[in-house]
């Protein structure tokens, strides 16, 4: 996880060994917009989240779920889609 890189950024990296590279810098930023959400444990495997993730994909966006409770949504350049519409009802559900 890093605040300095996101999906489809072009990076410079240094090979340390056959299995390891070290990030050096971002060469070119992508134009994808990134949205991040913190999910409560009861929502991470819910049917409501599955529905939201399906809608994200239907709108041409991509997503990653890290460490169980962190959801990142990446929206392509030029897309009018805002994933808040689909994700916030899940995140804010009690």
Burial class (CB in 10 A: 0-12, 13-18, 19+), 45: exposed
Maximal CA-CA distance, the chain: 47
pLDDT at position 60: 93
For the chain (94 residues), the mean pLDDT of every run of 10, in chain order, is 78 95 93 90 80 93 88 94 90 69
Domains of the chain (ranges, CATH numbers)? 1-30 (no CATH), 31-91 (3.30.1370)
Pairwise CA distance, residues 64 & 66, whole Å: 6
pTM score = 0.80
């Amino acid at each position: 996880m890093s605040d300095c890189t996101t999906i489809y950024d072009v990076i410079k990296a240094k090979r340390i060994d056959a299995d390891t590279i070290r990030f050096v810098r971002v060469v070119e930023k992508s134009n994808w917009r990134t949205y991040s959400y913190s999910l409560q444990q009861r929502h991470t495997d819910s049917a409501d989240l599955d529905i939201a993730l399906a809608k994200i994909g239907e709108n041409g966006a991509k997503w990653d779920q890290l460490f169980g409770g962190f959801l990142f949504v990446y929206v392509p350049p030029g897309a009018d889609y805002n994933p808040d519409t689909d994700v916030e009802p899940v995140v804010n559900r009690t």
